[in-house]
Amino acid sequence: MPAVFAPYGVETAWVLWLLPLALLPIVASGRRRSAVPAIAAAPADPLSRRIGRALTLSGIATIGGLVVGLSGPYRAGERITRIGIGAQVSMLIDRSGSMNETFAGKQPSGAEESKAAASRRLLSGFVGERAHDHFAVTAFSTAPMLVLPMTDRHDAVRAAIAAIDRPGLDYTNVARGLAMALSQFGADRGIARVLLFISDGAAVIDPRVQDQLRAAFAKVRPNLYWLFLRTKGSPSIHDRPAGEDTPQAAPERHLDLFFKSLTIPYRAFEAEGPQAVADAIARIEALERDPIPSTEVRPRHDLTGWAYGVAALGLLLLALAVLAEADLPARRAVRRIAADEPLRRAA
């Protein structure tokens, strides 16, 4: 079979043995025939010839379409690999209770929007603008939640992001969230990988877990962006605490230090309002531009409708041709009786 037909198949192949019937319109036609003494009496007419050819073709299309339709044609499902410009983006989103608050640290009221709502709005725009990116969404509070594995289905990604402003709960457990977000990247090499970490706070990472994370980061080597949604009045990433400089006293600062010690490209954005979040996302977007092969799975597609559609179109043309048939024999019958009458009298 030629390569063109390779992706196509039929349910019941034996029906296709009837396909030679489609050649019938070449040798026969269902139209009423008028016998004439010499066909050469009709002047040569290109329009008639074209109509005749079109009707033969519609006959072939009708029978062929019906046979193919009966055999149940389909286009087999397949994986298509395309090269686009983009990156694999694994989003790690904080779902702790404080995300429900506004940037001022209050419960949102009226026109105010919570940090979660703001990040949802801005991230949806981020997903829509980049056609070839792959996204994975992971949420975390006390335990990490796998929201969406790595995919290029942007509708699903947007739906996942739309769900992140559901009221969050509990505390912030960064380490397990990071581990899961890292595990979202596949084994493919040579693809730009981005870990987008969105949170409004930090927590102490256990030294033992720190080693595991270090190993995981070294293996995956993503570009790490930390979008820190800072509540007004809370300490900045860069603030040294007044007292002892321990992870417990300033978890944000120490998480930042931990990220810096990972020897991977890392940037932290500190945002104190929706506008700042938008700026940060725009900058991330500008940074990540690399070729990325994207695999799309096309499901099996039923082509029966098309086959019957072709047959219906052919039938319609044939029906129109029958309606347009010139009524030669009927006229003849009437005239015959009338013409015989005077003869009989004369005889």
Partner 1 sequence: MNGPPSAEIVYRPRWRPRGSRPGAHRGRDAGGLGTFRDQVPFLSLPDARRIDLRATLRDPFEGVHVRRFETRVPVEIYALVDLSASMRYRGVADRIALAAELCAGLAASATRIGDGFGLIAADRAIRADLTLPATRHRSAALTLAGRLAAASCPAGGAEGMVEGAHSLLGRPKMVFVISDFRWPAELIRRLFSALALHDTVPVLLADSAEDEDLPDWGLAELEDLEGAGRRLVFLRPALRRRWIAREQERREALAAMAAASGARRPFTLVDRFDAQALSRHLLTD
**Site residues (vs partner 1, CB under 8 A):** 29, 31-43, 45, 47-49, 51-52, 55, 321, 324-328, 331-332, 335-336, 339, 342-344, 346-347
Answer yes or no: are the C-beta atoms of 97 and 202 closer than 8 Å: no
- Which residue, 145 or 328, is less far from partner 1 as judged by CB? 328
Task: Report the nearest approach of partner 1 to the CB of residue 318 (Å).
Answer: 11
- Which residue, 42 or 286, is less far from partner 1 as judged by CB? 42
Can you tell me the distance from the alpha carbon of 197 to that of 179, in angstroms, rounded to the nearest whole number?
12
3 state DSSP class of 96: coil
Distances (CA, A) of 16 to 26, 66, 72: 19, 10, 10
Which residues partner with 301 through β-bridges?
75
Task: Report the nearest approach of partner 1 to the CB of residue 309 (Å).
Answer: 24
Task: Report the nearest approach of partner 1 to the CB of residue 29 (Å).
Answer: 6
Task: Report the nearest approach of partner 1 to the CB of residue 66 (Å).
Answer: 23
Closest by CA position to 270, among listed 250, 253, 258, 289 = 253
Task: Report the nearest approach of partner 1 to the CB of residue 45 (Å).
Answer: 6
Task: Report the nearest approach of partner 1 to the CB of residue 28 (Å).
Answer: 9
Answer yes or no: are the C-beta atoms of 182 and 216 closer than 8 Å: yes
- Which residue, 42 or 242, is less far from partner 1 as judged by CB? 42
- Which residue, 41 or 111, is less far from partner 1 as judged by CB? 41
- Which residue, 41 or 187, is less far from partner 1 as judged by CB? 41
The one-character DSSP state at 318 is H
Backbone angles phi, psi at 61, to 5 degrees: -65, -40
- Which residue, 29 or 210, is less far from partner 1 as judged by CB? 29
Angle at 93 between CA 284 and CA 127, to 5 degrees: 45
Closest by CA position to 302, among listed 44, 37, 145, 71 = 71
